[in-house]
Amino acid sequence: MKLTVLSDIHGSLDKLAEASGLIAESDLTVVSGDLTRHGDLHELRRVVSELQGVSRRLLAIPGNMDGRDSIPVLTELDVNAHGRAVTIGKIRFIGAGGATPTPFGTPFEMPETEIVARLSALHQPKHSGRLVVICHNPPYGTRLDRIMLGRHVGGKEIRRFVEEVQPDLFLTGHIHEAAGVDRIGKTLLLNPGPFRRGGVGVVHIPETGEITAEIIKR
């Protein structure tokens, strides 16, 4: 399976025309949060509609900028992965949107324990296929949660979840300046960076063997 991974769109699809060919040839497009600038539901519907127009299939979670009221809209539009498990072939996708509290009081913030509890409830240890986690908030202490001056701001409980469960792939966003690929144990992690600045992640998940990920600037 080939994935195109986007994050932190913030209402801007200026780069969509350049990325549409790549998106169209992928089996699945994943948006790991922040589709809107500040939770506007009309903007959310527009962004989802335009992405669906070029995607074979779309899954999305809300980010901290999208608000809890985005969840029923994403569900209505048949793209919601927040608090849900979606199985495609032998790959199980589980999602948790929102983020831990910020200094800015953004629309969808929650304690880290709530994010981890949601993911834990969706995890099925007996599932024999691949496990992909879609979580807007990155885990602590990687290339993907480092802000200016090198400070790490990711979730320590989320990292503990990754270390214990070891999903095959962890897709995140949230920290704009921390686009990159990293690992925690066997788990491959990807933050594609803000799509409004041209960040696009491409992931290949073979039936067997190593998962690969890269970031393509558009």
| Residue 160, Cβ density class (10 Å: 0-12 exposed, 13-18 middle, ≥19 buried) | middle
18/4 Cα distance (integer angstroms): 13
| SS3 category, 90 | coil
Residue 149 confidence (pLDDT) above 90: no
Alpha carbon distance 135, 60 (integer Å): 10
What is the distance between the alpha carbons of residues 69 and 92, in angstroms, rounded to a whole number? 25
Q: Which pLDDT score, from 0 to 100, does residue 129 have?
A: 92
pLDDT score, position 203: 98
What's the mean pLDDT when you consider all of the chain?
Answer: 96
Could you report the per-residue pLDDT of 12-29, keeping only the tens digit for each? Answer: 999 999 999 999 999 999
- Average pLDDT value for residue range 50-67: 97
Rounded to 5 degrees, φ, ψ at 120 are -65, -40
Cα separation, 169 vs 151, whole angstroms:
24
pLDDT score for 146: 94
Class of the domain covering 2-217: alpha beta
- Where along the chain do its domains lie? 2-217
Q: Is the pTM of this model over 0.95?
A: yes
* pLDDT of residue 218 exceeding 80: no
Q: Is 148 exposed, middle or buried (0-12, 13-18, 19+ CB in 10 A)?
A: exposed
